[in-house]
Amino acid sequence: MGVTRTGRKPPRVGDQPLFRRMLIGIVLVIVALLIVAPLVVIGVEAFSKGWAVYRDTIIHPDTLHAIGLTVFAAIVAVPVNTAFGIAAAWSITKFDFWGRRFLLVVIEIPFSVSPIVAGVAYLFVYGLQGVFGPTLDEYGVKILFAIPGIILASMFVTAPFVARELIPLMQAQGRDLEEAATSLGASGWRTFFSVTLPNIKWALLYGVVLCNARVMGEFGAVSVVSGNIRGQTNTLPLHIELLYHDYQAAGAFAAASILALIAVFTIIAKVALERQGAGRVRRPALVANPAEKTQ
Amino acid sequence: MKIRLENVVKTFETFRAVRDVSLTIESGELVALLGPSGSGKTTILRMVAGLEYADGGHIYFGDQDATDIPVRDRGVGFVFQHYALFPHMTVAENIAFGMKVSKVKREKAAIDARVVELLRLVRLEGLGDRFPAQISGGQRQRVALARALSVDPKVLLLDEPFGALDANVRHDLRRWLREIHRELGITTIFVTHDQEEALDLADRVVILKDGHIIQQGTAEEVCRNPQSAFVMKFLGDANVLAAEVRDGKAYASGAAIDVSGMADGKAELYARPADLDWSAQGPGIPASITRVLDRPDGRRVLATTETGDQLEFDVEPERAVKAGEGGFVTLRRAKVFALG
């Protein structure tokens, strides 16, 4: 009696020490083998032939061009998809219209369809044997095996990212805030910039970061439509593959290390944003206390 | 500003929320729209605000047809049930928002002065720098009211303003809203499903059911003279007894009530718990007590008559009654409504 025992928890299912240690052990081994080891290999292999080879690969005109093209694709595709994502989330959550639920499903298609399918589909739409291909060719507009194709394919693959982050949040927020702003005399733009945007900014940034990472890393869809022309239509992921097939393993890894670096920055940004309440975390400050909502 | 609704209709997909409602609200009046959920009260309020457009009919602000004026230009102050305060702005910024976005340009100093004035009006001096998440529910609702008042609205509209608050806070805010209304004299419409709130607060209570107005009047008029069984039941606890009207009298469970002028036939007799008396000896309706509920202001007795009807009535706190006792119930007053 009188002894306080802190830190004791009631037993739960699967709480035996042996089971717990085994489960944690298995997970750690899998993470090490599947995720950490390959990343370490990238770093090690990139510098396996020394710093000079690494530097030469990076500053090689083809690599620099690939980096430039990748960045360019992101500069075009990310803002367009951001605007699209905001527009889509806004329409779906603030308006009632026929086909709303259907649109919600359609927006998510790029997530479920293999990127290569998207690439092939673009071939059939814009290719010379495709629907618009001959017409476009007549006017000298080149989409496939050119930069527009790469951007279109990247945009297809990353279309859902921003919308998907915003829709649940904007659904939870409802229309009250916008209605309040409008009833106080604010214009549509004013309402958007003063009321809507500040309340979705972290989720928006989160979506943008994920979208950007995916645009820069996209391989499947882009590889079908780009034509892999070195120094012309080669993005960074495609360039890595090319180097690898040319038996330039160290070069491939060097180029890959850039993408890996982008990934690391993405994760840091993602964690930082999640601290701000973006992503899947609940936002108590933005939604009125649910205990008070239910009367 | 006088508000007039003329044959207003609103349908959501297949649901007819508001059917042919006509209503006049005098300038400076405080009116409650009272009804159960789905009665159309909030839809009417939102149509007056311009947050919904009427499918048919007209809404006049004074002599001006406001039916198609968008909410932005309608000049109403709207208070939302869940406050709808901008979470990323401080209390002062919330209140200043309407003045900042207004087409009427104001000096920053004038806006600041008005914010201070409004904070004083809603008794939140010194809380201007807090964020909505840092204040209580009752305080949030007061900020919402200050924000709505900041744009000098022609009419103040409140959607279940106290619905999300607990009972004590609700009681205080009710009295306080009444005071503010007296001070400002602004035409005010509020929606509630709480009959006590409507009766306590409003100059006039408009009772709605299924998108229709079924009765309106002062609290006294609707309480003393409910014109239908629905209003009788909706305004408070009522005992219901099957009755038969014959030759100007209604007979129910052996009691007879004078209802001169009413047509013969089946009817229902309604009596408030306070309108029944309990005595150990007859005459009256014989009944036996099934339960006694003790409340701060008296004792509520549940009893069953010999014919199986359930009755509820109140006795004084000192009165010794207990379950199982038999006795007689007499009706002091009652309302009789014909069936069908």
Same domain, A35 and A103: no
Question: Predicted ipTM?
Answer: 0.84
Same domain, A77 and A104: yes
Residue A10 lies in a domain: no
Same domain, A104 and A130: yes
Dihedral sign of CA atoms B286, B290, B295, B299 in order: positive
Residues in chain A: 295
Same domain, A123 and A200: yes
d(Cα B63, Cα B58) in Å, to the nearest integer? 11
Beta strands in B35-91 (DSSP E): 56-61, 64-65, 76-79
d(Cα B135, Cα B287) in Å, to the nearest integer? 52
**Burial (0-12, 13-18, 19+ Cβ within 10 Å), A291:** exposed
Long-range contacts of A32-41 (CB under 8 A, 24+ apart): A39/A260, A41/A253
Domain that holds residue A39: 16-46
8 A C-beta contact, residue B23 and residue B5: yes
Compare all CA atoms of chain A with the CA of B12 and give the residue at the minimum distance.
A96
Residue of B49, B82, B164 with shortest CB distance to A183? B49
8 A C-beta contact, residue B121 and residue B113: no
Same domain, A67 and A209: yes
Which of B85, B88, B158 to mutate to test binding with chain A, by most A CBs within 10 Å of its CB?
A: B88
Q: Tell me the domains of chain B and their CATH numbers.
A: 3-226 (3.40.50.300), 237-338 (2.40.50.140)
- For B17-34, the DSSP string reads EEEEEEEEE-TT-EEEEE
Same domain, A207 and A248: yes
Q: What's the domain count of chain A?
A: 2
Cβ contacts of A190 on chain B, cutoff 8 Å:
101
Same domain, A179 and A246: yes
Same domain, A179 and A235: yes
Tokens representing residue A21 in the block: 């240690």
Q: Which of A251, A260, A261, A255 is nearest to A53 (CA)?
A: A251
Partner-chain contact A194 B164, CB within 8 Å: no
d(Cα A150, Cα A159) in Å, to the nearest integer? 14
Query: The whole model's pTM is what?
Result: 0.80
User: Facing residues of B18 across strands?
Assistant: B10
d(Cα B335, Cα B205) in Å, to the nearest integer? 20
Compare all CA atoms of chain A with the CA of B152 and give the residue at the minimum distance.
A184
The domain that holds A226 is classified in CATH as 1.10.3720.10
Check if B138 contacts A (Cβ < 8 Å).
no
Strand order in the sheet with B76-79: B76-79, B155-159, B187-192, B30-34, B204-209, B212-217
Residue A287 scores a pLDDT above 80: no
Low-confidence residues in chain B, pLDDT < 50: none
Residue A286 scores a pLDDT above 90: no
Which of B81, B97, B99, B139 to mutate to test binding with chain A, by most A CBs within 10 Å of its CB?
A: B97
Confidence tier at A279 by pLDDT (50, 70, 90): low
Check if B80 contacts A (Cβ < 8 Å).
yes
Q: What is the largest CA-CA distance in chain A?
A: 92
Q: What is the pLDDT of residue A5?
A: 66
For A101, A163, A197, A282, the CA distances from A169, given in Å and listed in that order, are 16, 10, 12, 9
Confidence tier at A292 by pLDDT (50, 70, 90): very low
d(Cα B16, Cα B39) in Å, to the nearest integer? 10
Residue A288 scores a pLDDT above 50: no
Residue A72 scores a pLDDT above 60: yes
Partner-chain contact B87 A185, CB within 8 Å: no
Tokens representing residue B220 in the block: 């006294």
Residue A8 lies in a domain: no
Compare all CA atoms of chain A with the CA of B94 and give the residue at the minimum distance.
A181
Confidence tier at A289 by pLDDT (50, 70, 90): very low
The number of beta carbons lying within 10 Å of the beta carbon of residue A271 is: 10
Same domain, A99 and A190: yes
